[in-house]
Amino acid sequence: MLRSLMTAVTGVKAHQTLLDVTGNNIANVNTTGFKRDFTIFQDIFYQTTKASSAPGDNLGGINAAQVGLGVRVGAIETIQTQGAAQYTGGKSDMMISGEGFFVLNDQNGGRIYSRAGNFVLDSGNLSDGGQSTLVHSGTGYTVQGYKMERDPSNPLNFTKAADLSNIEIPIGQKLDARATTVVGYRCNLDSRMGPYLPNGFADIEFTEEFKAGGGEPATIKIDGIKYETTFKTTGLTGGATANDYLTITFDSGSGKSALVLGMSGINNGMPELEVVSAGVVPGGVVPGGAFYLPGPPPVGVTASYDNSTGRLKLTSTAVGNTGVTLWETNLQESMSYSSIQFTAGGTDFKFLAEFDERSIGRDGTPTTLTLWYPAAGTTGAMMKATATVSFKSDGTFDTVSDITPATGMLPVPLNSPNNFQIVPTEDGTGLEFRVAKDLQNIIVPIPNYTIAGTITQGGFHQTKLTVYDCQGFPYTLELQFKKITANRWRWEAFFPDYPQLAPTTNDGKYSGELTFDASCHLVDPSPVNIYVPFSLLGREDGNIKLDFSGETFGLDPIDGVTQFASATTTKGFYQDGYTMGVLQDYSVSKDGTITGVYTNGVKEPLYRVALAQFANPQGLEKIGETMFKEGINSGLANIDAALDNGKGAIESGALEMSNVDLTEEFTRLIIAQRGFQANTRVITTSDQILEEVVNLKR
């Protein structure tokens, strides 16, 4: 009889706890970030009144007879399900969508955790420069995060610090001016465009292995420079003639050999070439196309050129390999000329025009325009005249000086400025060749002319970007891209508003080249450093890295400057300089990045909000104020930035509501009430029976 009383008492106590837990859940139905609790009951233990027995030969087995002795609260579990979102609009309010807990420091510097993201900025302390700290409203616990720092290897990226710190958002704090240190360029230069200006014959270098006769690998260099200025320096002897035009050298470890091609005429807008002489260095020049490639052993070859196809061919004369083609190339594919043909005064005139591609630029040095033409009455002879051409800052033609007769006169009667002139077109993108209508009467002024031909600029592109010095003073940096040959472009950097700030590369040049491979990507992706003499304006000199491949930013080659058969779109997409600014606003992204917005337009990440995960989040211990601390059974905190390693996302301007469901809690109230009521009935029933037992004595 006493057993039922005590058993019922345990039931009353357990259901009282259930009522307490349910009441607490209901009380916190509107508590931000609150996680409801769930009460788990367990029976206590049993008294065995009759032991069990195993089956025998003639009798079956008997089960044990046990009497239960009550119930107890086995566990009160915290249900860590996601609460509903409540929009607040406050930029400092944050909600975790997914796994994790905010990491905070309490007044003792210990770490505690919460799902309640009701944060505010405090006024800041003088000890930390007055910077406002992000704190939990109502408690003042400081919110922890990772400070963001610019990645020195990739200025586009910011990396988070290794250690946690208080999140500080210094509204109103000044951001010092930053000098530009890197500029990135991307997109495309159109491969379909012709050279910016005709530049004659481009330099080519490659290595070819001549196997016939045991020849060694030889470096072949085709050089479009006049014989007198380069070929003699190789040690070859022999006199040069007026039409010696192109030299080709073959260089191996055993020696050098070379051949000379001369310009003998003009055909279909291209120079007619012939093999003039060849030789072995050291040694003498021999006429014709027979010579030796360096050995060992030397390989006898014959050079021939076909003007109809533009192909230069080397054929073996070695015994056993006679007639075998060792190497051939199409020279016309590397030629770029403007052809001008006209008839004046009953005479036909032909010119090939080219510019010195080594000096096509905007550094203040004019370039040379060369006009090739056949000398009248002289078979196979070619003459040339030159003019000096300067450019405007936008790359268009500016002026053309008088044709210089020092290296060759123009044919009579074109040698008079009253009969023949070269002037820029009205828009500056071309050069007009003007011929007087009456060549026999030189007193007729040139305004009475016909246009004999025009040279038009081809592959040219310019792009502008604002950069900054150390004081934050802005400058317009302009880059011009000028096509040289099929796969080569020259870039030139300058400041149109400050021409005295002529930027130079490390080797003192004002420009550089971009060379593309067959897949239209840069052969050399290395950035180029340019030096800017800002000291001429009383400021600190600058060094700016020009990146054309995306290498500095960790990008793929396709994201840099390419040369596909598509429209030219190259532009500067990034520079890291700025003027002085003041932090006026901030925003919070899903990965917890707090980005500062400055008055100078700069947006920089300041911190990333830290989140903690636990192997058993139900093992966390509640300490009030919607805070948790690590428990023995929760596991250690696994802390990362939001969205890293399984952490949840941050929703700014919202708070996580309590996960308490009133319908469920009211149902549990009824269950608790009925359970409590039933257990009290056991007590009263047991009491009545005890009373009857006592009455037996009467």
Chain segment 323-364, per-residue pLDDT in tens = 888 788 888 877 888 999 888 777 888 899 988 765 565 555
Closest CA to 310 of 246, 250, 226: 246
Tokens of 390: 């300067």
Element (H, E) at 217: strand 217-223
Residues 6+ apart with CB under 8 A from 69: 3, 6, 7, 10, 44, 45, 46, 47
Query: pLDDT-based confidence at 403, cuts 50/70/90?
Result: confident
Tokens of 679: 């257990």
Tokens of 29: 């139905």
Give me the mean pLDDT over the 588-593 stretch.
Answer: 96
Give the whole-angstrom CA distance, residue 616 versus residue 420. 93
Chain centroid, CA 163 distance in Å: 27
Note the pLDDT of residue 249: 73
The answer to whether 131 touches 691, Cβ cutoff 8 Å, is: no
The answer to whether 180 touches 576, Cβ cutoff 8 Å, is: yes
The answer to whether 544 touches 552, Cβ cutoff 8 Å, is: no
Element (H, E) at 39: strand 37-43
Give the whole-angstrom CA distance, residue 246 versus residue 546. 35
141-to-106, 165, 240 alpha-carbon distances in Å: 5, 13, 89
Give me the mean pLDDT over the 130-134 stretch.
Answer: 81
289-to-262, 269, 276, 432, 695 alpha-carbon distances in Å: 12, 25, 7, 40, 144
Closest CA to 292 of 282, 305, 278: 278
The answer to whether 251 touches 222, Cβ cutoff 8 Å, is: no
> Given the structure tokens 């390989």, which residue do they identify?
299
Report the mean per-residue pLDDT for the chain.
84
β-bridge mates for residue 119, sequence order: 136
Query: pLDDT-based confidence at 406, cuts 50/70/90?
Result: very low
Say whether pLDDT at 199 is over 90: no
Question: Strand, coil or helix: what is 680?
Answer: helix
Query: pLDDT-based confidence at 212, cuts 50/70/90?
Result: very low
Tokens of 530: 């340019």
Give the whole-angstrom CA distance, residue 291 versus residue 276. 12
Q: Among 107-121, 227-241, 374-388, 460-474, where is mean pLDDT lowest?
A: 227-241
Give the whole-angstrom CA distance, residue 529 versus residue 59. 101
For 678, how many CA atoms within 13 A lie in the half-sphere containing its CB? 10
Whether a cis peptide bond, with omega within 30° of 0, leads into 282 is yes
176-to-472, 582, 612 alpha-carbon distances in Å: 8, 9, 34
Give the whole-angstrom CA distance, residue 395 versus residue 375. 33
Note the pLDDT of residue 195: 86
Pairwise pLDDT comparison (347 vs 129), residue with the higher score: 347
Q: What is the pLDDT of residues 614-637, one digit of tens each?
A: 999 999 999 999 999 999 999 999
Residue 407 DSSP class = G
Domain boundaries defined on the chain: 2-53+62-80+659-695, 105-168+587-649, 182-191+460-575, 200-336, 349-456
Among the ranges 204-213, 376-385, 580-589, which has the highest mean pLDDT value? 580-589
Give the whole-angstrom CA distance, residue 525 versus residue 244. 37
Give the whole-angstrom CA distance, residue 583 versus residue 602. 9
The number of beta carbons lying within 10 Å of the beta carbon of residue 357 is: 23
Instruction: Label residues 467-478 b or e (16+ Cβ within 10 Å = b).
Output: bbbbebeebebb
Give the whole-angstrom CA distance, residue 167 versus residue 144. 6
Give the whole-angstrom CA distance, residue 167 versus residue 235. 73
β-bridge mates for residue 175, sequence order: 581
- pTM here? 0.72
Residues 6+ apart with CB under 8 A from 361: 367, 391, 490, 492, 510, 511
- Cα torsion 8, 13, 15, 18 to 10°: value is -160
Number of residues written out for the chain: 698
β-bridge mates for residue 166, sequence order: 144
Say whether pLDDT at 109 is over 60: yes
Tokens of 60: 């079956």
Say whether pLDDT at 167 is over 60: yes
Give me the mean pLDDT over the 413-442 stretch.
Answer: 82
Among the ranges 346-360, 374-388, 409-423, 660-674, which has the highest mean pLDDT value? 660-674
Give the chain's largest Cα–Cα span. 163
Say whether pLDDT at 314 is over 70: yes
The answer to whether 243 touches 265, Cβ cutoff 8 Å, is: no
Give the whole-angstrom CA distance, residue 579 versus residue 426. 40
Tokens of 223: 């050089």
Q: Among 36-50, 217-231, 367-381, 414-428, where is mean pLDDT lowest?
A: 217-231
Note the pLDDT of residue 231: 33
> What does the DSSP assignment read for 321-348?
-TT-EEEEEEGGGGEE-EEEEEEETTEE
Note the pLDDT of residue 236: 35
Q: Among 258-262, 278-282, 479-483, where is mean pLDDT lowest?
A: 278-282
Residues 6+ apart with CB under 8 A from 402: 387, 417
The number of beta carbons lying within 10 Å of the beta carbon of residue 22 is: 25
The number of beta carbons lying within 10 Å of the beta carbon of residue 610 is: 27
The number of beta carbons lying within 10 Å of the beta carbon of residue 511 is: 21
Residues 6+ apart with CB under 8 A from 676: 11, 12, 15, 16, 19
Question: Strand, coil or helix: what is 690?
Answer: helix
Radius of gyration of the chain, Cα coordinates, nearest whole angstrom: 45
The answer to whether 461 touches 480, Cβ cutoff 8 Å, is: yes
632-to-515, 617, 637 alpha-carbon distances in Å: 64, 11, 12
Q: What is the pLDDT of residues 536-550, one digit of tens each?
A: 999 999 999 999 999
Give the whole-angstrom CA distance, residue 310 versus residue 261. 12
Helical ranges in 196-316 per DSSP H: 227-230
Give the whole-angstrom CA distance, residue 546 versus residue 556. 16
* Orientation of helix 662-695 relative to helix 2-27, angle to 10°: 160
Rounded to a whole number of angstroms, the distance between the first and last alpha carbons of the chain is: 20
> What does the DSSP assignment read for 286-301?
EESSEEEE--SSPEEE
Closest CA to 278 of 312, 225, 305, 238: 238
Q: Does the domain made of 182-191+460-575 have the CATH classification 2.60.98.20?
A: yes
Give me the mean pLDDT over the 261-278 stretch.
Answer: 82
Instruction: State whether the Cα torsion 400-402-404-409 is positive or negative.
Output: positive
Say whether pLDDT at 377 is over 80: no
Residues 6+ apart with CB under 8 A from 588: 91, 92, 94, 594, 595, 609, 650, 652
